[in-house]
Amino acid sequence: MMSRRPAPRAALAVAAVAAVAVPPLLAPYALHLCVMVGIFAILALSLNLICGWAGMISLGHAGFWLIGAYTTALLTTDHGIAFWWALPASIGITAASGLLLGLPSLRWNGHFLAVITIAFGMIVQTLSVNWEWLTHGNDGVSNIPRPVLFGHRLGANLAFYYLVVVILAAVWALMHRFIVSGYGRALKALRDDEVAAACMGVNIARFKVTAFVLSAGIAGMAGSLYASYVRFLNPDSFGLDTSIRVFVMVVIGGIGSIGGSILGSFAVYVLPEVLRPLQQYYYVIWGVVVIVVMRFLPGGLATIWSSAPPGRE
């Protein structure tokens, strides 16, 4: 935490200014991409908490994302509850569902846990199709309202973009605090050696479950934002491919790096869009880009400024 060479302050400042100043100048579609990058960055950060610091793999984060999104969607449409109440409800319900995955993480590690998380994601998606009384099944949920802030409906994508930026910044700040605290240190320690961490007094079970619950809560927050942004949900958006996409964002950006998750979301979300005109070649080029990044920057895009992988220092 203290030896990491941070990205040059200048680069961070430029990125922050750009994140605020550029979007008003963008075409509608580019602005839409920016909002999605912000939402996915929050989702990627939630996954990074588990993968990067606690050393556990989850390939079921689309399941948490779904629970958060549907909670907000259903509360704001069928029950007429305001977004500002639906958001904390999404966080709370998704965090509670994190317990479901936190408990198996106590017994299984590595690829066993990864398979369990895949199953979790599939179960959640299947339920969202079949529990029609609750979720409207394949019809999905439509006409989800945008949030209203100080009497203004955030109907314009630009206004919504700034909401996402503010929440992303808050998540960044909280995660940073968490990671540099004794809690974060203990998570990194149990990633390196569970037995030794237990002998230092770390209650392994409590820490792992806490990590899963926090991660799920943040993913639920991303889901809530997604629902009220796109205003229409159906189960198709929350499959295994989405879980894997988020995982790739974390890895490409840098496992165990907060800024990396944001860079990774940008790269994984925007690059395919830029490459889309290439049509059939676009997957080939995208694949090559991923392999090249992993070969030359095994610590992810976040290590472009330093040589060692982040979080491992």
Partner 1 sequence: MAATALLQTSGLTRSFGGLLALSDLTITVEAGGIQGLIGPNGSGKSTFINVVSGVLRPDAGRVTIAGRQIAGRRADIAARAGIARTFQNLRLFGGLTVLENVLMGGHLRLRTGLAAALLGTDRAREQGLREHAEQILALVRLTHRMRQPAGTLSYGEQRRLEIARALAARPRLLLLDEPLAGMNPAEMAMVVEIMQHTVAEGVTILLVEHAMRVVMAVCARITVLNFGRCIAAGPPAAIRRDEAVIRAYLGRARHDA
The residues of the shown chain that bind partner 1, judged by CB under 8 A, are 1-3, 174, 177-178, 181-186, 188-189, 191-193, 195-204, 210, 311-313
CA distances from 174 to 46, 168, 219, 250, 256 (A): 11, 10, 14, 18, 15
Cβ closest to partner 1, residue 149 vs residue 205: 205
- C-alpha of 156 from chain center: 23
Nearest to 101 by CA among 214, 262, 265: 214
CB of 220 to partner 1, least distance (A): 17
CB of 210 to partner 1, least distance (A): 7
Cβ closest to partner 1, residue 26 vs residue 189: 189
CB of 133 to partner 1, least distance (A): 36
CB of 197 to partner 1, least distance (A): 7
**Cβ(149)–Cβ(167) below 8 Å:** no
CA neighbours within 13 Å on the CB side: how many for 180? 10
**Cβ(216)–Cβ(97) below 8 Å:** yes
Cβ closest to partner 1, residue 217 vs residue 220: 217
CB of 307 to partner 1, least distance (A): 13
**Cβ(110)–Cβ(50) below 8 Å:** no
Cβ closest to partner 1, residue 92 vs residue 137: 92
Cβ closest to partner 1, residue 210 vs residue 234: 210
Distance CA 256, CA 47 (A): 10
